[in-house]
Amino acid sequence: MQPLWEIRLEVPGDAETWADMLAAACDTETVSYHRDHDDAPWRISAITETEPDPERLHAAMVAARMVTGSVTGSVTGSPASITPASIMPSMPIVESLADRDWLAENRKSFPPLDIASFRVYGSHITDPVPAGRIGLLIDAGQAFGSGTHASTHGCVTMLEKYLDRHAASSVADIGCGSGILAMAAAKLNPHCRIIAVDNDPVAVRVAADNAAINGVAGSITCGVSDGYQAALVADHAPYQVILANILPSPLMEMAADATACLAPDGVLIVAGLMDIHVDDVQQSHEAHGLTLRDSMIFNDWATLVFSHKGEGSND
């Protein structure tokens, strides 16, 4: 059996964000988290088939702290060379596991999840998708977006609300991670032309694999891009729907590019920000000519929907 590694850490709050960041950075097959009681820290455990890369692990931990506003996150163990103590007090424990099917065991901790009209489930789930639900098979693993995070919930909900189910729409998923949003769009409207990009080549590969598994590879073109910079993104603009579930800072930095790529009657759906970041993200997009059309808060995480002024708004 291929050797496996376990990565463990403890954090004071927002375990979903820490777990998803860890999964995306460490090419992790499964991540789970729990705490002993309401006042206890969250214990996160990830299992990976590849030895974690210290630089990617370090970047993920720093990003998670920025997003959550955490200054007391406790992560302990080896390898000690991953990051200086001035940035992180300590780092996750990384251990080689014994010869045992840990992946299958850990995946059992992920029950099926219902988001809007979708049933998101892993390959360990054998029950049929309930009538009236749209199935999305995604194993928690190598890229952000297994459906558990509140920001994914918000994006899928708004996508279902605003995507035209019948027109041959063009959709861009910027920072696609596992491809869950792109696949949701393809399932909602098989006539869509969807571009899904991420700056992490591993995520792009995972998204393409997931699209094939879910039978929507013909609708989705995956590629590597730092935001909107790749020719793949520009060549297929403008888009009726742009999805960007990233982080507040890059969302604000990309506001001009998002505006330029958005069709006159299109909607930009952004997430990855907590409610405390809403004003800053809203102002950055309004500065480039967009207006806030809709919003929702779910478990303190915000999803914002923008359109060009005069389209679907009172401006």
- pLDDT band of residue 19 (cuts 50, 70, 90) is confident
pLDDT mean over 255-270: 97
Query: If pLDDT is split at 50, 70 and 90, which confidence band does 211 have?
Result: very high
Q: Residue 315: what pLDDT?
A: 44
Q: Which of 44-48, 223-227, 237-241, 247-251 has the lowest mean pLDDT?
A: 44-48
The per-residue pLDDT for 91 is 66
pLDDT of 75 above 50: no
Q: Where are the domains of the chain?
A: 5-105, 150-308
3-state secondary structure the chain: CCCCEEEEEEECCCHHHHHHHHHHHCCEEEEEEECCCCCCCEEEEEEECCCCCHHHHHHHHHHHHHHHCCCCCCCCCCCHHHCCCCCCCCCCEEEECCCCCHHHHHHCCCCCEEECCEEEECCCCCCCCCCCCEEEECCCCCCCCCCCCHHHHHHHHHHHHHCCCCCCCEEEEECCCCCHHHHHHHHHCCCCEEEEEECCHHHHHHHHHHHHHCCCHHHEEEEECCCCCCHHHHHCCCEEEEEEECCHHHHHHCHHHHHHHEEEEEEEEEEEEEHHHHHHHHHHHHCCCEEEEEEEEECCEEEEEEEECCCCCCC
The highest-level CATH class for domain 5-105 is alpha beta
- The whole model's pTM is what? 0.70
CATH, domain range 150-308: 3.40.50.150
